Amino acid sequence: MKRALPSFLHARENSVDRRMRPRPNTRVNLESLMSNDSQSSSSRSSSPSHRSSSPIPPESGHQELAKDNETVKVCLRLRPHLRNNPYKAAFRIHENSLLARNVDDNSTERQYTFSEIFDDTVSQAEVYDRCIKPAMRNISGERGATFLTYGTSGSGKTYTLLGNHANPGIVPRAIEQVFMENANCISPHPGLKVDKTSVSFLDDDSVCRELKKVESMKKMLQYHDAGHSRMKSIIRKEHDFQTSKDPDLRVFIWVSFVEIYNENVFDLLGQDSIFGKRKPMKILSNEGNAYIKDLSCVFAGSSEDAYNILQFGLQSATYGSTDVNSNSSRSHSIFFMTVVSYSLATQLINYSVYKFCDLAGSERLKKTGNFGDRLKEAQKINTSLMVLGRCLETVHKNQKSKKLAEIVPVRDSKLTMLIQSALLGKEKLSMIVNLYPTEEYYDENLNVLNFSSIAKQIVLQRKPTQRRDRTTRYSFFLAQATSSPSAKIDWNQLMVENESLKQELAYESNVYREQLADKALEIQQLKREIFDQELQLRNELTDDFESYCAQREATFQTRLKQAREAAVLPYKLQITNLNAKIEHLKNVITDMEYEEDEYEKKLKAYQEELQKYREKEKRTRRLSL
């Protein structure tokens, strides 16, 4: 056998061990073998034939293997059909299988098997109980889970994930489940936080900053209503979440919200996101775990805080209108909910990250009629969904074949980089496939069903993560104290002292509350006195200012009168001179008018004499003739 070269990219075949020796196909129970060896060594003289090993039966080994390996949970949900044309001609449900056949041609009937199938009569609560609730249990060692909603545009993915006030979706129900199951353990203050991929303790200044961040988001929330209280009552009626009783456990819940728009990751909880000044973020990896650099992680002390943070992020999400859907999601949105648990008794820290992915719908240009920016968005959406399908197909091919494993192309898309832990089998993966069962979208629905059929065949081989033990001096002394024999004797005494201290603390807190109430009354009385004094002082200042203004007004009136008289005096002299000239001119005009009359009389006399002379001359001429 030729020795194979070691490779970090291609894994070794399962049939060959690290020394290139063939591995046996049968599994051997080592405990039974060791017990048989010890029995045979003790009774070797009497019965040396007891050294035979006892292999595990094939059936029990197969059950144990199936217990460790889980397939991806793929559920199908059908959207209610609004038209009169029924969809049963193209799609038919048979138990957990969907039978698809195109009525226009004589094609063969195709069968697709799912974990669960929900028709249009199934409620949101039943979908959550059967698909999401089992994976939301906070088990120590579990890394979390990833939930995907996949389907064509307008098939009801966002409604399944978010819902409305009357029918809450997956995310509000998951928030209520986490907070109700850990109601006695949730800390109101952020003491622990996941930074990148490690957990760190927060100091007092950091705690104040985190609490102020939540309050600022509540103030900036545009549509703040009482929808959460209504949804909370509905969820509690429809579900029965059991509250855990562990007094030594402390739980801290953190929330993040991002969207992948045109293959760029944007933070929906950033303070600048609401003003439209968004910057693309980088995705980094640490020991195979992907995280987003400088991502906003907000502490949620209650379910109301988590819901308000969700609504704040949805204000900045990208939506658009197409021919298929008037309010279509133009990006992939991922809602992260990180649950950090800290045990006071064992000093162990665990954290689980739950990802809720609302994938944008796959689109066809001839159906959506996109152009311009919408066309670019559709191309990026379809590309990322194709990469997701290639990753699932590669994982399935690697599990099915015995050859060298191919590299899963998780780095070809931002979406697959963020959910690579689920794709590589490190955490649970559940998918809800939304289908709009109409003949108009038959081809698009077939692509969705083919995609989901590949995901249904993938086997997840998860390895439980080890919890980190914080080895400090305190934990060492605590371990020594709890392991000593006197610890059990002193336990009752410590409990009694603890109860007495609690009573003293309660009494002192009541005294401090009464003192605080008295101080509050004194403060109110002092505020009233200060207000009265301020009002009196303002009235006095107003009166003084009014009298001063009146005095200044009288002075200005006097000065204005004097200025007017001084300004008018020279003009009066000029007017007097002008009036004298006018009188003189009037006399001259009168004399001239008198002279004019005299001249007119003389002119008239001259004219009469001239007329007489002309008549006389005419007479003389006649006489001469």
Q: What is the pLDDT of residues 538-555, one digit of tens each?
A: 999 999 999 999 999 999
Give residue-wise pLDDT tens across range 25-71: 444 454 454 455 444 444 433 333 333 333 333 333 334 333 434 67
Question: How sure is the predictor about 172, in pLDDT bands with cuts at 50, 70 and 90?
Answer: very high
For residue 62, which amino acid is it?
H
The CATH fold assigned to 140-433 is Kinesin (3.40.850)
Q: What count of Cα atoms within 13 Å lies in the side-chain half-sphere of residue 529? A: 6
- State the average pLDDT over residues 69-98: 73
* Strand pairing category for 73-78 and 428-435: parallel
Cβ within 8 Å of residue 609, ≥6 positions away: none
- State the average pLDDT over residues 322-337: 76
- 549, with CB counted inside 10 A (0-12, 13-18, 19+), is exposed
Domain ranges for the chain? 140-433
- pLDDT of 356: 94
- State the average pLDDT over residues 263-281: 79
Question: How sure is the predictor about 485, in pLDDT bands with cuts at 50, 70 and 90?
Answer: low
Q: Which of 329, 352, 378 is nearest to 137 (CA)?
A: 352
Question: How sure is the predictor about 466, in pLDDT bands with cuts at 50, 70 and 90?
Answer: very low
- Of 144-148, 321-325, 327-331, the poorest mean pLDDT is in 321-325
- pLDDT of 65: 37
For residue 535, which amino acid is it?
L
Question: How sure is the predictor about 253, in pLDDT bands with cuts at 50, 70 and 90?
Answer: very high
Structure tokens, 591? 């004399």
Predicted confidence (pLDDT) at residue 419 exceeds the cutoff of 50: yes
SS3 182: coil
- Of 132-146, 361-375, 383-397, the poorest mean pLDDT is in 361-375
Whole-structure pTM over 0.75, yes or no?
Answer: no
Known binding site: residues?
Answer: 151-158
Q: How open is the CA angle 524-525-530, to the nearest 5 degrees?
A: 95
* 145 contacts 428 by C-beta, under 8 angstroms: yes
* 71 contacts 457 by C-beta, under 8 angstroms: yes
Q: Which of 89, 119, 92 is nearest to 104 (CA)?
A: 89
- Of 157-166, 218-227, 535-544, the poorest mean pLDDT is in 218-227
Alpha carbon distance 163, 238 (integer Å): 15
User: 307 or 38: which carries more pLDDT confidence?
Assistant: 307
Known binding site for ATP: residues?
Answer: 151-158
Residues facing 355 on adjacent strands: 146, 336
Predicted confidence (pLDDT) at residue 529 exceeds the cutoff of 90: yes
- State the average pLDDT over residues 575-582: 92
Give residue-wise pLDDT tens across range 587-616: 999 999 999 889 999 999 999 999 989 888
Phi first, then psi, for residue 149 (nearest 5°) are -115, 120
- pLDDT of 188: 82
User: 474 or 560: which carries more pLDDT confidence?
Assistant: 560
Answer left, alpha or beta for residue 196, where phi above 0 means left and psi between -120 and 50 means alpha: left
Predicted confidence (pLDDT) at residue 112 exceeds the cutoff of 90: no
- State the average pLDDT over residues 141-154: 83
Predicted confidence (pLDDT) at residue 85 exceeds the cutoff of 90: no
Predicted confidence (pLDDT) at residue 535 exceeds the cutoff of 90: yes
Question: How sure is the predictor about 82, in pLDDT bands with cuts at 50, 70 and 90?
Answer: low
Average predicted confidence (pLDDT) for the chain: 78
- pLDDT of 338: 92
Could you tell me what percent of the chain has a pLDDT over 70? Answer: 74
SS3 16: strand
H helix runs in 361-485, sequence order: 365-368, 373-400, 414-418, 420-423, 442-456, 473-483
* 298 contacts 210 by C-beta, under 8 angstroms: yes
